[in-house]
Amino acid sequence: MSIHPVLNKKHFAKRRKRVLAALGEQAVAIIPAASEQLRNRDTHFPFRQASDFRYLTGFDEPDAFLVLVPKHELGSCILFVRPRDAAREQWEGRRAGVAGALKLYGVDQAFTLDEMDAKLPELLAGREQVFAPLGEDMGFAQRLFGWLVAVRRLQRTGVKAPGTWQDSSQLLHEMRLFKDEDELQVLREACRISELGHVAAMRACRPGAAEYALEAELLHTFRQHGGETAFPSIVAGGQNACILHYTENRDRLKKGELVLVDAGCEWGGYCGDISRTYPVSGRFSSAQRDVYSVVLAAQQAAIDAVRPGASYDQPHQAAVQVLTEGLVDLKLLKGKVSKLIEKEAYKRFYMHRTGHWLGMDTHDVGNYKVDGAWRPLEPGMVLTVEPGLYIDAGRDVPKELRNMGIRIEDDVLVTREGSEVLTAAAPKTIEALEECVPNE
Ligand code: GLY
Ligand code: MN
Ligand code: MN
């Protein structure tokens, strides 16, 4: 059995080794897996592993824990897993158990979960710092506290108890922010399937189709390629596109309107995230063309600003500049562009930022600022570039522009030379979209 479609146990061991080196010999890290979440009554949401835990183990079962204890006599990398259980496995699915954890995942030691309360005080004894995710899960915090109390009780026997807790996020998330070649291979596939999903949705688009019919094309494509949706897809016809996170997807698409589709495939634990906006009947009206051209130019300016050394904020500033100029040309704003930007007048029509980090989580981890300043972009970072315009129905808005929502989103890798758009195959120019979407 392979544990990942691209990565093998050596990849995960390499990551753990980096963490062990960063911890030093005085620390221990405890990283929990996700638990199953109840959806309703006795039905659960599809299980999704905690990204930090999967990043370090590749292990995709719930409720496990990874404990990293540099140079401990039991081993440095220890997994606590659910025990084998023939009856439960017949109902709920296979478990690796202790033997599987050792053989398939390459850790030094494995124990069952019911051994945790006995083993943890032993693993914490003599260490100064505990790294763990703090402030995320009350249940985990309580257990962690319990283990610390247990090791403190041993103090009279000469055992030193850890005195500091540290959030493990800082260390792990800085690692996850930079994607290596193996991760990029996985991410490229997630992006490729996301592109295919968008093209399938475009081809299925026609007046009278339900928004969910386009969503179905996306989901079908993702599943056909062994992926799943990275987040609830947005298929927003007409004025629904002005609701930024519209996910009802129940209306019918109307001739003459645009549809905004924001969807991405998660494959091998990495997420694509693409938005495209196109005319339901396959031909842009002249007003739609004008607004679309502004957003497209803003997106290109933002992509051009992605290069090593540029600050994280530069693509956003580039997009805001072009969008504000466009809003003046479209007569949606009046005044001097520099003043309008200073007053943030564009926020009436562009109220979100231009992107986010992308990786195992759609809104991926990693700090955007360091010491209060936007951090410089560096090779290996991946971010989305997703400007938009959302025009309300105000009386001061020309009629033909009212209720129009447009967003264009691509996934961009910072390279040594500049940048690479990972989602460039999804049609985006007016010509390419009119070619792909059926017209009457
Ligand atoms: N799909 C969510 C986002 O674009 O941020
Ligand atoms: Mn998106
Ligand atoms: Mn996004």
CATH fold, domain 178-436, is Creatine Amidinohydrolase (3.90.230)
Decide: 231 in ligand 1 pocket, CB within 6 A: yes
- Nearest ligand 1 atom to the CA of 355 is 5
Q: Per-residue pLDDT averaged across 22-50, rounded?
A: 96
Q: Per-residue pLDDT averaged across 46-74, rounded?
A: 97
In DSSP terms, which residues pair with 266 in a beta bridge? 228, 271
**So where are the chain's domains?**
9-176, 178-436
Catalytic position from the list 363, 368, 400, 435: 363
Helix intervals (H) in 133-205: 138-153, 169-177, 181-203
Q: Is the pLDDT of residue 182 over 90?
A: yes
In DSSP terms, which residues pair with 192 in a beta bridge? none
Cβ neighbours of 329 (radius 10 Å): 12
For residue 135, the model assigns a pLDDT of 81
Contact 278, 437 (CB under 8 A): yes
Instruction: Give residue 195 CA to ligand 3 midpoint distance, Å.
Output: 14
SS3 341: helix
Residue 156 vs residues 129, 151, 153: alpha-carbon distances, Å = 19, 10, 7
Tell me the whole-structure pTM to 2 decimals. Answer: 0.97
262 catalytic, yes or no?
yes
Q: Per-residue pLDDT averaged across 413-434, rounded?
A: 98
Residue 358 vs residues 24, 74, 263, 366, 385: alpha-carbon distances, Å = 29, 36, 13, 10, 10
Q: What's the half-sphere exposure (Cβ side, CA atoms, 13 Å) at 431?
A: 0
Instruction: Give residue 299 CA to ligand 2 midpoint distance, Å.
Output: 14
Residue 420 in tokens: 């690479």
Instruction: Give residue 266 CA to ligand 2 midpoint distance, Å.
Output: 12
- Nearest ligand 1 atom to the CA of 234 is 1
Instruction: Give residue 357 CA to ligand 3 midpoint distance, Å.
Output: 8
Residue-wise pLDDT tens digits, 187-243? 999 999 999 999 999 999 999 999 999 999 999 999 999 999 999 999 999 999 999
Instruction: Give residue 361 CA to ligand 1 midpoint distance, Å.
Output: 11
Residue of the nearest CA to atom 5 in ligand 1? 363
Average pLDDT of every residue of the chain: 97
For residue 156, the model assigns a pLDDT of 86
Decide: 411 in ligand 1 pocket, CB within 6 A: no
Percent residues over pLDDT 70 in the chain: 100
Catalytic position from the list 48, 225, 352, 353: 352
For residue 103, the model assigns a pLDDT of 96
Tell me which H or E stretch contains 234.
Answer: strand 234-237
How are beta strands 65-68 and 43-44 bridged, if at all? unpaired
Residue 140 vs residues 19, 143, 159, 199: alpha-carbon distances, Å = 21, 5, 24, 42
Backbone φ, ψ for residue 164 (5° rounding): -130, 135
Percent residues over pLDDT 90 in the chain: 97
407 catalytic, yes or no?
yes
Decide: 361 in ligand 1 pocket, CB within 6 A: no
72 catalytic, yes or no?
no
- HEC states along 66-116? EEECCCCCCCCEEEEECCCCHHHHHHHCCCCHHHHHHHHHCCCEEEEHHHH
SS3 11: helix
* pLDDT-derived band at 429, boundaries 50, 70, 90: very high
Q: Which ligand is nearest to the CA of 383?
A: 3
More confident residue, 136 or 302: 302
Q: Exposed (0-12), middle (13-18) or buried (19+): which is 60, by Cβ within 10 Å?
A: middle
Cβ neighbours of 101 (radius 10 Å): 25
What secondary structure letter does DSSP report for 311?
A: B
Residue-wise pLDDT tens digits, 280-295? 999 999 999 999 999 9
- Nearest ligand 1 atom to the CA of 231 is 1
Q: Is the pLDDT of residue 22 over 80?
A: yes
CA-nearest of 199, 290, 188, 274 to 234 is 274
Catalytic position from the list 361, 386, 410, 411: 386
In DSSP terms, which residues pair with 431 in a beta bridge? none
Contact 389, 258 (CB under 8 A): no
Q: Per-residue pLDDT averaged across 107-133, rounded?
A: 96
Decide: 273 in ligand 1 pocket, CB within 6 A: yes
CA-nearest of 329, 383, 332 to 354 is 383
Phi-psi region of 102 (alpha: psi -120 to 50; beta: other; left: phi over 0): alpha
Residue-wise pLDDT tens digits, 313-369? 999 999 999 999 999 999 999 999 999 999 999 999 999 999 999 999 999 999 999
**Whole-angstrom Cα distance, residue 35 to residue 239?**
38
For residue 1, the model assigns a pLDDT of 77
* pLDDT-derived band at 388, boundaries 50, 70, 90: very high
Q: Is the pLDDT of residue 111 over 80?
A: yes
Residue-wise pLDDT tens digits, 231-281? 999 999 999 999 999 999 999 999 999 999 999 999 999 999 999 999 999
**What CATH homologous superfamily does 9-176 map to?**
Creatinase/prolidase N-terminal domain (3.40.350.10)
Cα 386 from chain centroid? Answer: 14
- Nearest ligand 1 atom to the CA of 386 is 4
β-sheet with 27-32: strand ranges across: 109-112, 77-81, 65-68, 27-32, 129-132, 164-167
